[in-house]
Amino acid sequence: MAFGALIIGDEILSGKRQDKHLARVIEILGARGLELDWAQYIGDVPERITAALRLSFASSDVVFSFGGIGATPDDHTRQCAAAALWRKVEPHPEAVRLLEERFGKDLNAKRLIMAEFPAGAAAIPNPYNKIAGFSVGSHYFLPGFPEMAWPMMEWVLDTNYAHLFHKVASIEETIVVHEAGESDLLDAMNAVLRDFAQVKLSSLPQFVADGRIIELSIRGEPSQVPGAMQYFKGEVVRLGYRFDDKPPRANAA
């Protein structure tokens, strides 16, 4: 099962607001032994939002969408989710009830727009101000405001996906290779991925004061990572380069 994030809003793409969601989503998932598989930023363009949602709805991914579920003219996510599913939007009884609790006699037609969800959606409680988000299948639509969205995401995970927490044990080993270029190590990288099917590899080249380095990490199944790294270290030495070990990192089940 893959986890994805859609982060919606012109204000992020224009630089008016710095995105805080991506780092926090990674942190929230990581605390539960889960990983973010993909993320996408989208501006307030209905056609693009609808297209992105239509693609993700066709997958089995668990997707958290942030932003665009308010009542202002630049909030399109509710309508786009409905369009992506070929459904209409309609008032959700639970979301309406929560708005009645929140606003009482001050509830009006404009505020009721925030309780209009795609047909068949479920409400996601908002502990901050009772203005609900919504879910359709494994897609969860949350406000753009972090103080609301992050507790709502945690509630979704703890309510629906606790059976997945810390199920996959993984470790990560990292070395720093000195003076090699990525092309020099490419054959060794490909050999690791070919011969050790349950690991992932990342290569981060950097220029430093005394030359260049590559921070090379191998992450995945604990029974495979040590062998994969041992092979890679041997190739580094065989090619005439030196390396330094970094402390291993574990994500145990």
For the stretch 103-120, pLDDT in tens is: 999 999 999 999 999 999
Q: pTM of the predicted model, to two decimals?
A: 0.85
Contact yes or no for 50/84 (Cβ under 8 A): yes
My answer on whether 145 and 195 are in the same domain is no
Residue 134 sits in the same domain as residue 224: no
Whether residues 187 and 160 share a domain: the answer is no
Q: Residues in the chain with pLDDT < 50?
A: 252-253
State phi, psi for 122 to the nearest 5 degrees. -110, 150
Other Cβ atoms within 10 Å of 42 Cβ, number: 23
108 shares its domain with 196: no
So what's the pLDDT on residue 45? 96
Instruction: Please say which residue of 102, 131, 164 terminates a domain.
Output: 164
Q: Say which CATH number the domain at 16 has.
A: 3.40.980.10
| Start-to-end C-alpha separation, the chain | 16
Q: What pLDDT, on a 0 to 100 scale, did the predictor assign at position 134?
A: 98
174 and 114 inside one domain: no
110 and 131 assigned to the same domain: yes
Note whether 84 and 196 are same-domain residues.
no
Among 136, 164, 192, give the residue marking a domain's end.
164
Residues 98 and 18 in one domain: yes
Q: Residue 253's closest CA among 218, 226, 221, 217? A: 221
Residue 53: which residues within 8 A CB-CB, separation 6 or more?
Answer: 6, 65, 80, 81, 84, 139
Residues of the domain holding 222: 170-251
